[in-house]
Structure 1
Amino acid sequence: MNTPSHLILNLALLRRPLAPTMTWPILIGALIPDAALFVFYGWARWQQLPEHIIWSEVYYSQPWQAIFAVGNSIPLGLLVVALGYYLTPLWLGSGLGCLGASMVLHHLADLPLHHDDAHQHFWPLSAVRVISPVSYYDADHFGLLGATVELGLVLIATAYLWPRLHFIASKGLLAATVCLTIGGYLALQIRPLIAP
């Protein structure tokens, strides 16, 4: 699943109107699993590697797969949730719990939408990768279906969030994120279908 989609879906599922201060921990928790991917891509571009080499070879190499495993670990996300629960009497606890819950929600959303690029979601307990028959982008593995379901969920979540956001800046950020998601869908899924 694309990172902007995680942001919107996690916010719709975890944010409560009575606790808007949890918005930032939810957003940060949604970003943490993909943070290493952004570092990886920046490093690869700095190395002037071609796109096809980045995504077909270097992405699958060590130590990158080990680094991705840490950020995509469901057990580590659950550990953060438990730590947040333990620290609940303190101000930090609630935010930490929301951050961990958002990380775990990100992982659970990725499980059914990653094929060749599946993560080691059970690290450090196991190096097993759950390989889904559906990809969120790869046409050879129902990528159009995966991307369409993802976009549909994002649009539903946006409709839910829109009236609950009270600041123009928040609505603008949501609109920009949805536009980014729609643009990615059109460029990666629809354009290849109509291109000669």
Structure 2
Amino acid sequence: MHTPSHLILNLAALRRPVPPAMTWPILVGALIPDAALFVFYGWARGQRLPSQTIWGDAYYSQPWQDIFAVGNSIPLGLLGVALGYVLRGFRLGPWVGFLGASMVLHHLADLPLHHDDAHQHFWPLSSVRLISPVSYWDVDHFGRLGATVELLLVLVATAHLWPRLSSRGSQGLLGITAALITVACGVLVLLG
């Protein structure tokens, strides 16, 4: 699933009825699983690797897969939820809990939409990868279906969030993000 989709879906699932102050931990938790991917891509472009090498070889190499496993770990996300619960009486407790919950939601949304690029979601307990028959991007593995499901979920979540956002700026950012996802998924569905 595209990173901006996780932002919208996690906000829709977790933000209400919690205080708006929890928006940031939800957003950060939605980003953490993909953060190493952005670092990796910056490194690969800095090495002047061609796209085929980036996504065909370098992405699957060690230590990158080990690094990706840390951010995509369901046990670590659940640890955040548990710590948030234990620390609920302290100022940072809810922040940690929502961060962990948002990470876990990201992982659960990724599980059914990653085929060849499946993550080690159970690290450090296991290095097993759950290979889905459906990809969110690879047309050889029902990528059009994956992109359509992603787009529909984002549009429903956007409609849910829109009236609940208190500022025009937030609504504008949501609208721009949803439009970008619509374009990305639409290109895949139509041109894939």
Unmatched 5+ stretches in structure 1:
none
Shift of 1:191: 2.6
Shift of 1:18: 4.7
Look up the match of 1:61.
61
The alignment status of 1:112 with 2:125, answered yes or no, reads no
Look up the match of 2:96.
96
**Is contact 2:75–2:122 with CA below 8 Å preserved after alignment?**
yes
What is the root-mean-square deviation of aligned Cα atoms in Å? 0.8
**Is contact 2:8–2:154 with CA below 8 Å preserved after alignment?**
yes
Normalized against structure 2, the TM-score is what? 0.98
Look up the match of 2:140.
140
**Is contact 1:33–1:72 with CA below 8 Å preserved after alignment?**
yes
- State the Cα deviation string for residues 136-159 of structure 1 (Å, max 9, x = none): 010010000010000000000000
Shift of 1:176: 1.1
Letter in 2 for 1:61: S
**Is contact 2:143–2:188 with CA below 8 Å preserved after alignment?**
no
Give the 5 Å matches for 1:8-157. Answer: 8-157=8-157
**Is contact 2:144–2:188 with CA below 8 Å preserved after alignment?**
no
**Is contact 1:121–1:128 with CA below 8 Å preserved after alignment?**
yes
Unmatched 5+ stretches in structure 2:
none
**Is contact 2:75–2:123 with CA below 8 Å preserved after alignment?**
yes
- State the Cα deviation string for residues 90-142 of structure 1 (Å, max 9, x = none): 11001110000000000000000000000000000000000000000100100
**Identity percentage of aligned residues:** 72
Cα distance change, pair 14–187 in 1 and its aligned pair in 2 (3 A): same
Mapped to 1, the partners of 2:7 and 2:114 lie a distance apart of: 18
Normalized against structure 1, the TM-score is what? 0.96
**Is contact 1:114–1:131 with CA below 8 Å preserved after alignment?**
yes
Mapped to 2, the partners of 1:94 and 1:17 lie a distance apart of: 13
**Is contact 2:81–2:97 with CA below 8 Å preserved after alignment?**
yes
List structure 1 runs of 4+ shifted beyond 4 angstroms. Answer: none
